[in-house]
Amino acid sequence: MAEKGVEVNNLYISSKAHIIMPYHRVLDKAEEMRKGNSKIGTTGKGIGPVYMDKIGRSGIRMEDLFDADMFKTKVEEAVELKNLILDKVYGLETFEASEIVEEYLGYAERIKEYITDTSLLINQEIEKGNNILFEGAQGTLLDIDHGTYPFVTSSNPTTGGVCSGTGVGPTKIQEVLGIVKAYTTRVGEGPFPAELTGEMGEYLRKVGHEFGTTTGRARRCGWFDAVIVKYAARINGLTSLAITKLDVLDELEEIKVCTGYEYQGEIITEFPTKEEILKECKPVYETLPGWQSKTSDIADYNKLPENAKKYLERISELTKTKISIISIGPKRNQTIVLDELLENN
């Protein structure tokens, strides 16, 4: 990275981080192929199989790279088992442990200066009075415990994952900002009650450039789902919301908000995580008037179109969470930071 002009002297990698091995990626893709129409929709990067090894207490961590004999032993033990699975279950080519060891010990030489006890490092910075920003990947509904299981990731991308993942205690976290679009999207398989499969879904996808960052897959799009966001606010203990891509809705005459689900003749407003229930849920919409004017060059909340402000106020009301940030474009200067303007009563 340095030769490309990117400074990496402030890069740190946790010594406890688990390592993705070549067999993890092959097993990930093979299992998706085996499931066929029942596939989860993973990225194929081997993340799920790594977590399986982690929970099975047979994983290989960064710190293992710096004891060559131990690393060699762990890889040999892992490859012996993985080869049996690859051969007998999937009928695929197997791996040579020695080749993996040689390759990964080479990586160890390149990254050893970045490996450290990141929990200690972060806590020391907190004690100095420095601000720490934790950025979560993915979203609440992909959480292994609180998401739409089994169509989830293998970890906890919710707020609780900050503590278990970084070794920073919960009492050290002061603010929790939830990032949500002005409409709803999802990548991969799984139930999505507010999904729009027709022209409007395609419109949101096209105008919002909704394609997966890792996979390039087209994201599934739908109207803002207040049921999901209210659930996410509860699970994560959100102190405020950042609403992004408001400008994507600029040209619409009407905008709908999903306020609940119809399930077996009843209206429910609390999110059901059970797949069998969620698959039968039909969205209940509230229609709001659009503003049909450009917002991407507005820097002051008070200068937003009146209907845009009403839309944001309704989101805040339905999710029981104040809005502190509004994004009206991809650039840094296309961000409106609020001063308690939309705090709930």
Average pLDDT of span 43-57: 93
Q: Determine the pLDDT at residue 341.
A: 46
User: What 3-state DSSP class applies to 267?
Assistant: strand
Does the pLDDT at position 182 exceed 70? yes
DSSP SS3 for 326? strand
DSSP structure class, residue 218: B
- Using one digit for the tens of pLDDT, what is the confidence trace for 1-35? 677 888 888 999 999 999 999 999 999 999 988 88
Tell me, what's the pLDDT at 238?
A: 97
Per-domain boundaries in the chain:
11-116, 120-169, 175-337
Q: Which fold, 11-116?
A: Adenylosuccinate Synthetase, subunit A; domain 2 (1.10.300)
pLDDT: which is higher, 189 or 30: 30
In degrees and rounded to multiples of 5, residue 129 shows phi and psi of 90, 10
Percentage of the chain exceeding pLDDT 90: 82
What pLDDT, on the 0 to 100 scale, is given for residue 343?
45
Question: What CATH number is given for 175-337 in this structure?
Answer: 3.90.170.10
Residue 23's Cβ-count burial label (10 Å; 0-12, 13-18, 19+) is buried
Q: Taking a C-beta distance cutoff of 8 angstroms, is the pair 156, 144 a contact?
A: yes
Query: What tokens does 135 get?
Result: 């950025």
User: Which of 130, 211, 199, 124 lies closest to 168, judged by CA?
Assistant: 124
Cβ neighbours, 10 Å, residue 157: 22
Coil, strand or helix at 259: strand
Asked whether residue 106 carries a pLDDT value surpassing 90, the answer given is yes
| Cβ neighbours of residue 87 closer than 8 Å, sequence gap 6 or more | 94
pLDDT, tens only, 227-249: 999 999 999 999 999 999 999 99
Q: Band of the pLDDT at 274, cuts 50, 70, 90?
A: confident
- Span 256-281, average pLDDT: 95
